[in-house]
Amino acid sequence: LQVVHHNQQVTTTLGTVGILGGTGAQGRGLAFRLAKAGYDVILGSRDQERARQAAEGLGDRVTGSTLRGAVEGAAIVIVAVPWDAHAQTLTDLREELEGRIVVDCVNPLAFIDRAPVALKVDEGSACQQAAVLLPGSRVVGAFHHVAAPLLLDESVTELNTDVMVVGDDVPACEEVVQMIDSIPGLRGVRCGTLADAGQVEALTVNLIRINRRLKVHAGIRITGL
């Protein structure tokens, strides 16, 4: 925790989060919420100017950079690129991501005749693929079921949903839960290891089905806690 003084006013920054694919809906949505919660956020893009523009309107704490820039300035890096770009993006940044907590929210899905389908992943899941490609990073899965339109909707002050968190590195998972819990209405729930990530990712298919049928942005709630 770091305290910074700006023009006599005291603001608190909880740390810096980088987002790969930060110009997309999910990346911008998470940036908006994390910045409001007190994190500095760097949107990472293949095009720095696109990232700079994407950061506009998300608050003073959000800036835009290259993919490398988003990693180098951050202790926690969220992966929010499409599944098709997952392996290549992580492979290209393997060294830079070493030692960092990498939060993967990528859902390996395809749409066949407009129907969402969970893809089979050789490593078992996107999170496990990240762990294989990034042996020096602390991979955690989270935010798979949080809908970007809700994150970006300023009129939604309480997100009112749980976030399933999976990972093998318990302290890293706890840090991610703390980050999630700092956002009003989100509750992080640790629910397994990276080997348990596949069904978390695939559950998104069911949420998309609900969203289409009822014209909503469905999330999940774990009861009994």
Ligand X SMILES: NC(=O)c1ccc[n+]([C@@H]2O[C@H](COP(=O)([O-])OP(=O)(O)OC[C@H]3O[C@@H](n4cnc5c(N)ncnc54)[C@H](OP(=O)(O)O)[C@@H]3O)[C@@H](O)[C@H]2O)c1
Chain residues binding ligand X by CB under 6 A are: 21, 23-27, 45-47, 50, 80-85, 89, 105-107, 144, 146-148
**Nearest CA among 62, 86, 67 for reference residue 77:** 67
The minimum distance between CB 176 and ligand X, in angstroms, equals 15
Question: Between residues 7 and 205, which has the closer beta carbon with respect to ligand X?
Answer: 205
**Nearest position to ligand X, beta carbon:** 24
The minimum distance between CB 3 and ligand X, in angstroms, equals 32
Phi, psi of 212 (to 5 degrees): -70, -40
The minimum distance between CB 173 and ligand X, in angstroms, equals 18
The minimum distance between CB 146 and ligand X, in angstroms, equals 6
Question: Between residues 11 and 88, which has the closer beta carbon with respect to ligand X?
Answer: 88
The minimum distance between CB 162 and ligand X, in angstroms, equals 14
How far apart CA 20 and CA 91 sit, in angstroms, is 13
**DSSP code of residue 205:** H
Question: Between residues 14 and 85, which has the closer beta carbon with respect to ligand X?
Answer: 85
Question: Between residues 16 and 89, which has the closer beta carbon with respect to ligand X?
Answer: 89
The token pair at 112 is: 């066949």
The token pair at 93 is: 């940044």
Question: Between residues 20 and 37, which has the closer beta carbon with respect to ligand X?
Answer: 20
**Nearest CA among 139, 69, 136, 141 for reference residue 99:** 136
How far apart CA 157 and CA 24 sit, in angstroms, is 21
At residue 160, the 3 state secondary structure works out as: coil
Contact criterion met (CB below 8 Å) for 31 and 18:
no
